[in-house]
Amino acid sequence: MLRTDLKPNSFDYENEPLITPNGFREYDARWLFGKELNLTGVQLLGLSLGTYFHDCGIEPKVAVGHDFRAYSQSIKQALILGLMNAGCHVHDIGLALSPVAYYAQFALDCPAVAMVTASHNENGWTGVKMGAERPLTFGPDEMTALKDITLNGGAKPRAGGSYTRVDKFRETYLQAVTRGHKLSRPIRVIAACGNGTAGAFAPEALRRIGAEVVEMDTALDYTFPKYNPNPEDMEMLHAMSAAVKAHGADLCLGFDGDGDRCGVVDDLGHEIFADKAGVLVARDLSARHKNAKFVVDVKSTGIYEIDPVLKANGVVTDYWKTGHSYIKRRTTELGALAGFEKSGHFFFRPPIGNGYDDGIVSAITVLEMLDHAGGARLSALADGLPKTWSSPTMSPYCADDRKYAVVDAITKEYQALKESGAKLLGQSISKIVTVNGIRFTLEDGTWGLVRASSNKPSLVVVVESPASEANMRAIFADIDARLRKHPDVGEYDQKI
């Protein structure tokens, strides 16, 4: 039985695996390094992951990379030891973005991937994004199987493991994502990378397609001296807004710590939340791909269903579970042209992308959308969308072992309101979606969402109204009042 009471700076900590069960989340793995996971535990994780790959019956070739944090390379090396001990053939692409590792599955003909990254989580966190069926990454079933192998002694050493260092893979990736793309005019774009790994990739990629690039916090610095690289966070978005105004740029594109997400600020410095940026991209794509199908997550704007341009282009929109693995899989299953998440994960299938989330491919697609607009400013394109008032993604703290129970309770409250015909804001609840937490919609289109975060000890709250800012704030107040009745719910990371 694995111990969870190991303390750093002790004999046992250096010799026994520490790997806590809570790190196995819905579709990837995240731990506080040192407190919940040690290097010996990472080796066990690699051995267990390699065992799972064998159990799947795939060729055990694994593309492995790591993000730019002080400890990520050592964690990757420990993971590689475990994978090799499991008889896997490891192809190490070095410092990389998550989408670079996903691309390596195709370029190096590796059925499997293991990317060491904490994504946009704060320093101190680490984790692994994994897949065994390109372009998909693990979902709940795969994570449950991996957790069982790891925690219950199912990991099996095998002979035949090997290691290959893949040199200059950054250039291989950059050539692939920029090939065939050329802007008709030099759009002036700020590339904001928050000193994360994307700084080594995004500016060069955008220059290669003809953009005029202004670099913002592109020097790699794993202390993240200004803020965490997360283009969904208001602190980074506000910094991006200030940069647009200072440099007179056409837009700013921001990238998260592992480069699979892209945030957008327009020429006036207005933050365009990724779900609405997705509507603009969907308009552009559906004009050239009639009757296109798109998948969006339950946090996303309701504009996808009411936009007259998308309707005229014959678009069908499917709302699905939040989470990069969920939207990636759903997009593939439905044969959709693209998938969009409010968090900034965009998934483009052929002929645009390979089906996985890539912030640089997303950035190129946004720039091409603007290029196709014939000189129109991004702010004008955004103003042309149906008007709504929406919140950022808000995350009140709630422990991992309590958050699902809280969401269940909130879900039952709103379901009871709908069944009884009770009024909220003087209106009935017209629609409820429970595919991922609860999203309830009022008669005027105002909606609220409460769900459990899949990768952090918190809830997720989003609200939007096509009627008024007052209604948007009122629906948030109603949700907040109900959450406050639960002592397990703490403070928000940000509010409206």
At 3, is the pLDDT very low, low, confident or very high (cuts 50, 70, 90)? confident
- Same topology, domains 11-167 and 389-483? Answer is no
Question: How many other CB atoms are found less than 10 A from the CB of residue 91?
Answer: 25
For the structural domain made of 389-483, what CATH number should be given? 3.30.310.50
CA distances 319 to 21, 294, 296, 334, 464, Å, are 30, 9, 5, 12, 15
Instruction: Calculate the alpha carbon distances from 149 to 45, 88, 90, 346 in Å.
Output: 9, 16, 20, 32
Dihedral sign (CA 71, 76, 77, 78):
positive
Q: What is the CATH number of domain 174-383?
A: 3.40.120.10
Domain boundaries, the chain: 11-167, 174-383, 389-483
pLDDT single digits (tens) 236-288: 999 999 999 999 999 999 999 999 999 999 999 999 989 999 999 999 999 99
DSSP 8-state secondary structure symbol assigned to residue 274: H
Query: pLDDT (tens digit, 9 = 90+) per residue, 298-353?
Result: 999 999 988 999 999 999 999 999 989 999 999 999 999 999 998 899 999 999 99
* Amino acid letter, residue 186: P
- 494 has a pLDDT exceeding 90: no
Decide: residue 96, CB within 10 A, 0-12 exposed, 13-18 middle, 19+ buried: buried
Token reading at 99: 């989408």
pTM over 0.85: yes
Given a cut of 80, whether residue 1 has pLDDT beyond it is: no
- Hey, is 380 helix, strand or coil? helix
pLDDT tens per residue across span 14-62: 999 999 999 999 888 999 999 999 999 999 999 999 999 999 999 999 9
pLDDT at 486: 97
Q: Which residue has the higher pLDDT, 393 or 482?
A: 482
Tokens representing residue 323 in the block: 């989470």
Whole-angstrom distance, CA of residue 256 vs CA of residue 240: 13
What's the fold here for domain 11-167? Alpha-D-Glucose-1,6-Bisphosphate; Chain A, domain 3 (3.40.120)
Nearest to 365 by CA among 114, 112, 212, 180: 180
Summarised one tens digit per residue, pLDDT across range 94-151 is 999 999 999 999 999 999 999 999 998 899 999 999 999 999 999 999 999 999 999 9
Instruction: Please choose, from the candidates 352, 375, 354, the residue with its C-alpha nearest in 3D space to the C-alpha of residue 364.
Output: 352
Read off the tokens for 66: 């790591």
Instruction: Answer yes or no: is pLDDT of 233 > 90.
Output: no
Contact between 467 and 446 under an 8 Å Cβ cutoff? The reply is: yes
pLDDT of 455 above 80? no
How far apart are alpha carbons 25 and 265 in whole angstroms?
31
Q: 173-221, pLDDT tens digit by residue? A: 999 999 999 999 999 999 999 999 999 999 999 999 999 999 999 999 9
Q: Give me 12's structure tokens.
A: 């046992």
Q: How high is the pLDDT of residue 26?
A: 85
The first and second tokens of residue 343, run together, are 């968090």
